[in-house]
Amino acid sequence: MANNLILRGNTWHARLVIPTHLRSAFNRREFTQSLKTSSKSIAAKLANDKVALWRLQLDAAAGDANAVEVLASELAVRVKEEESEGQYADVTTGMTNSSAFAEHYAEGLSETDRQRFYGILTGRRTLPLHTWVLEWADKAYSNAKTNQIAVNEIRNFCVYAPSVSDVTKNNIRRWLKSETRSKKTIERALSFARKYWTYLQDVGVVSDDAYPFMGVKLPDTLKAPESKREPFNEADIPILFEALQVDRSVYLASLIALHSGARLAEVLGLTKSDVVHIENYACFHIAGTKTKASNRYVPIHNALQPAIHLLLNESDEQWLIPNVRSKGGAYRRGDVLGKRFGRLKTKLNFPSTKVFHSLRKTFITVCEQAEAPEGVVADIVGHEKQTMTYGLYSGGSSIPQRARVMESLDFGLTISPIGLLKPQE
């Protein structure tokens, strides 16, 4: 925002340079407006609103069909706020600063755009529901895969609620009744929709008093949930890992998951710089994205130390697990390796309920059988704590506490030197 501030005398002004190809539309080189303050920190906050409106005008002038409507929606909110606070530019006409700006702006629009603009401004029309979905998803989900799933689910819902005003209990029920996917999948989709609606409330698009999702229940016609994933048992482990040795990357990723409880995407997201030392303990820094608790430090199990040392020193790759390529980008590496794991696991006739995620379940099961403190295990695997005392007030377990749990775990597996060997080129 520093580039959008300029000091003239003792007063700060908001400023936004207009791109060369759009200057003829505004008959000027830049937008400027006094912020009527000598405080830079206050000016920076005030400039945010000014610059945001100017950027919307630039997008509209550049041909963005949504920008005119989004600008009208933003101005409608501001007009209501100014009216409720009695902030009138002209008391006799009842016109606020925002309504005056809206009127001036509309004069420069084509007839079609002017009708769309006033339709939104006056409340006769509402914006398409999907207008803010990309903005919301980018702020809510840093994990690219989750981000895309969230966007797709909202767009699916938009078939039944094309505009903001169409988000009603009846339309939500129509959407849910049309679904044939599993109950778990629809629960996730409904969760995304609720979070998106909350975001729209937070940014002032919809009223805080509107609760169309309250009391909505899933229909009984949804498919029963698929069989739950099971942990691998003690007898499975040596059989599984002996077979995994034919694919070194799968073998190494599986070892880390078994000895840390990390999710597949978390294991494949580890870089060499994520191996750190805290209080003299070698740890993984797992930058989880599901919840705040999933961003954590996990002491490296003693049995893993030789493998991790080898990986840190053998190649130029940034990734800790090498040789996993995906055309879908870095965030799809987990999908690629998961399929490779699945093919090897299937050859051993393991049931469909035992998958890569079962290694995480195995880790937690071994922790419970070792009578490890549940709160410490939650910090290791990145689970939110459900109790008021530990979940809300505790700063979390210490690294030495987590290390003691790791030292108490025995998975009954001898790590094969053959499985660690780099394949000959």
**pLDDT tens track, the chain, 425 positions:** 567 898 999 999 989 898 888 787 777 888 888 988 999 888 888 888 788 778 877 877 776 666 777 777 777 777 887 888 887 777 777 788 788 878 877 887 788 778 778 777 777 667 788 888 998 999 888 777 788 899 999 999 999 998 888 899 999 999 999 888 888 889 999 999 999 999 988 877 787 888 899 988 888 777 665 567 899 999 999 999 999 999 999 999 999 999 999 999 899 999 999 999 999 999 999 986 555 556 899 999 999 999 999 999 887 788 999 888 877 666 778 889 999 999 999 999 999 899 999 999 999 999 999 999 999 999 999 887 765 445 444 568 899 999 999 999 999 898 887 778 776 55
335 and 407 part of one domain = yes
102 and 7 part of one domain = yes
Inter-residue contact 25 to 9 (CB < 8 Å): no
Residues in the chain: 425
Inter-residue contact 173 to 216 (CB < 8 Å): yes
pLDDT at 225 (0 to 100): 57
Whole-angstrom distance, CA of residue 351 vs CA of residue 355:
8
* pTM for this entry: 0.56
Residue 364 lies in a domain: yes
366 and 261 part of one domain = yes
Checking phi first, is residue 349 left (phi over 0); if not, alpha (psi -120 to 50) or beta?
A: left
Inter-residue contact 244 to 254 (CB < 8 Å): yes
pLDDT at 393 (0 to 100): 47
Dihedral (Cα; 309, 310, 312, 313), 10-degree rounding: 120
Inter-residue contact 289 to 358 (CB < 8 Å): no
**Closest C-alpha among 165, 198, 163, 191 to residue 176:** 191
Tokens 């030292």 sit at which residue? 407
190 and 277 part of one domain = no
Q: Which residues pair with 351 in a beta bridge?
A: none
347 and 284 part of one domain = yes
Whole-angstrom distance, CA of residue 128 vs CA of residue 158:
8
Q: Domain containing 22: what range?
A: 2-121
Domain end point (choices 86, 121, 156) = 121
pLDDT at 392 (0 to 100): 47
Pairing of strands 275-278, 281-287: antiparallel
Query: Percent helix, strand and coil across the chain, each rounded to 5?
Result: 55, 10, 35
Residue 155 lies in a domain: yes
- What is the token pair recorded at 143? 């994990």
pLDDT at 388 (0 to 100): 45
Residue 208 lies in a domain: no
Please report how the helices 65-84 and 40-61 are oriented relative to each other, as an axis angle in degrees rounded to 10: 140
Q: Which are the contacts of 279, defined by CB distance < 8 A and separation ≥ 6? A: 398, 399, 400
Please report how the helices 133-140 and 183-202 are oriented relative to each other, as an axis angle in degrees rounded to 10: 100
Pairing of strands 5-8, 30-34: unpaired
pLDDT at 386 (0 to 100): 61
Please report how the helices 248-260 and 305-314 are oriented relative to each other, as an axis angle in degrees rounded to 10: 130
Residue 35 lies in a domain: yes
Burial of 19: CB neighbours in 10 Å, binned 0-12, 13-18, 19+: exposed
- What is the token pair recorded at 52? 């945001």
Strand order of the β-sheet with 275-278 is 275-278, 281-287, 295-299
pLDDT at 424 (0 to 100): 53
- What is the token pair recorded at 193? 């929709």
Q: Which residues pair with 14 in a beta bridge?
A: 5, 33
CA 68-55-28 angle, 5° bins: 100
54 and 195 part of one domain = no
Specify the number of domains making up the chain.
Answer: 3
105 and 162 part of one domain = no
Distance in angstroms between the alpha carbons of the first and the last residue of the chain:
52
Domain end point (choices 202, 228, 262) = 202
Q: Which are the contacts of 198, defined by CB distance < 8 A and separation ≥ 6? A: none
Q: Which are the contacts of 10, defined by CB distance < 8 A and separation ≥ 6? A: 38
- What is the token pair recorded at 28? 């000027």
Contacts 24+ apart (CB under 8 A), 158-161: 158/128, 158/129, 158/130, 161/129
399 and 319 part of one domain = yes
114 and 156 part of one domain = no
Residue 226 lies in a domain: no
